[in-house]
A = this chain, B = another copy of it.
Amino acid sequence: MDSQRKDVGILAMDIYFPSACVQQESLEVFDGASKGKYTIGLGQDCMAFCTELEDVISMSLTVTTSLLEKYDIDPKQIGRLEVGSETVIDKSKSIKTWLMKIFEECGNSDIEGVDSTNACYGGTAALLNCVNWVESSSWDGRYGLVICTDSAVYSEGPARPTGGAAAVAMLIGPHAPITFESKYRGTHMSHVYDFYKPILASEYPVVDGKLSQTCYLMALDLCYKRYRDKYEKFEGKPFSLSEADSFVFHSPYNKLVQKSFARLYFNDFLQNSSLVDKDARAKLEPFTNLIGDESYQNRDLEKASQQLSKKLYDAKVQSSTLIPKQVGNMYTASLYAALASVIHNKHGSLDGERIVMFSYGSGLASTMFSFKLHDGQHPFSLSNIASVLNVAGKLESRHEFLPEKFIETMQLMEHRYGAKDFVTSKDTSLLSPGTFYLTHVDSLYRRYYLKKAATEANSLLANGH
């Protein structure tokens, strides 16, 4: 690899999530669920959702223009644009083609890449593809851009509070502050029906929650093993949790992230890692012989390993959980929203650190990979990325909906999914300036979007004053 292509990775990031949200605590009351079922049982605080004004296309338009503007990137400098999503608005036309509107207006239609699909894994597939492109002989020196955009909605029932919505944008190129360690990659793919979307006219998935959790943890074990093997092969020393500073997981709900990190700790124990002290070793010993499903479903093992790894969790995982707990499951965007949370929380102290990522998409596709972090140079510095992400500001300026209003919105959206010939509400007051929104869908199902003026002055300008 020549020096031009060194340290390929994420140069810049931005995130968008709808301002509409509902508190998990109030959902518990509204649903008549036991207190703490969503907040402690699932580990979730709040859930964002799209109203009729927004969808995965509008969110990706918003986050793409925002990234280009905030990092001052000329749209002509983008040579590849890939989208990861599992929210299907059209079964043939890619979300990427909607985004082309932004680039065509600037005279750039020469942009490779389309949409990648496999549940929550599509964003990772898009990211790996984009990195490979920069390292390939067909790279033309321009930036890659990866967009993860999803709206997670569930039919009434226990899965409903595990929804969420967001779009993440990542600029890809060499000399990145968030550099791929391409050699240490552990992948596991398999044919299972844990979560899928065979009911084509409905936005809701078919979910086997218990199976999906087992599949996730099995995939985690396998990917961790493969990641460790490759690490040891290239580094000449074994990998354990102490070799990385942060662990970032795909987060359908926070409780699974807690279980996942505990599971990695249990793996380290099984590998006789010195990370696990004598005392902890004694407590985990009884679970050594559990095999298969037993091992993934044993409550005592889960409890013991979570307790024993609690301190490490606080040090290495906690900082990634902010946005996933506040916004909910964002499918393809979920893992990268968790990465954004780390940068938000720790950007001043990440230089030289390693972040291990675990991406999971039902069906299933999973990969563990890692980044090396560097402070970087403005505008592609970790501190500038944190400032553009503006996580605290975005979380604070949200609009809380009552559960009744959330349910009403879900019902309206059920009718709107796959529909034609309708206009949306003219009231865009809840949208932040610069947000794209759906205005109408015509009789041929063609969708029309507008951008809310970025400032009041611009808004007046747009009205011809």
Contact = CB atoms under 8 A, between A and B. Distances in A.
A contact patch SS: loop
A460 interface: no
A188 B110 CA distance: 5
A403 interface: no
A151 to B, nearest CB: 13
A295 interface: no
A92 B201 contact: no
Contact of A445 (B125, B129, B198): B198
B118 A93 contact: yes
A446 to B, nearest CB: 5
A138 interface: yes
Nearest to A6: B137
Interface stretch (A11-19, A251-259, A357-365, A422-430): A357-365
Contact of A365 (B94, B118, B206, B361): B94
A204 to B, nearest CB: 11
A418 interface: yes
A131 interface: yes
A121 B367 CA distance: 26
Given A135-B135, A135-B136, A90 B197 contact: yes
A232 interface: no
Contacts of A112: 128, 185, 187, 189, 367
Contacts of A122: 114
Contacts of A119: 92-94
A101 interface: yes
A116 B118 contact: no
Given A114-B116, A117-B117, A445-B199, A92 B86 contact: yes
Interface in A82-114: 86, 88-94, 96-101, 104, 109-114
A365 B97 contact: yes
Contacts of A91: 86, 88, 91, 197-198, 200
B138 A137 contact: no
A153 to B, nearest CB: 13
A160 B109 CA distance: 32
A445 B135 CA distance: 41
B118 A128 contact: no
B193 A109 contact: no
Contacts of A455: none
Contacts of A200: 88, 91, 200-201, 417-418
Contact of A118 (B88, B114, B186): B114
B118 A92 contact: yes
Contact of A97 (B99, B364, B446): B364
A365 B114 contact: yes
B206 A137 contact: no
Contacts of A191: 97-101, 104
A222 B104 CA distance: 13
Contact of A362 (B93, B100, B222): B93
A136 B138 contact: no
A117 B114 contact: yes
Contact of A113 (B81, B125, B192): B125
A190 interface: yes
B136 A118 contact: no
A133 B8 CA distance: 14
* Chain B CB within 10 A, most for which of A110, A128, A189: A189
10 contacts: A86-B92, A89-B198, A90-B198, A92-B205, A93-B363, A96-B365, A112-B185, A114-B125, A132-B132, A200-B200
Given A114-B122, A115-B117, 16 more contacts: A92-B119, A92-B195, A93-B362, A94-B117, A94-B118, A94-B365, A97-B189, A97-B363, A99-B191, A110-B189, A112-B187, A129-B129, A137-B183, A198-B420, A199-B445, A200-B417
Listed from nearest, the 3 A-B pairs whose CB atoms lie closest are: A198-B445, A93-B363, A91-B197
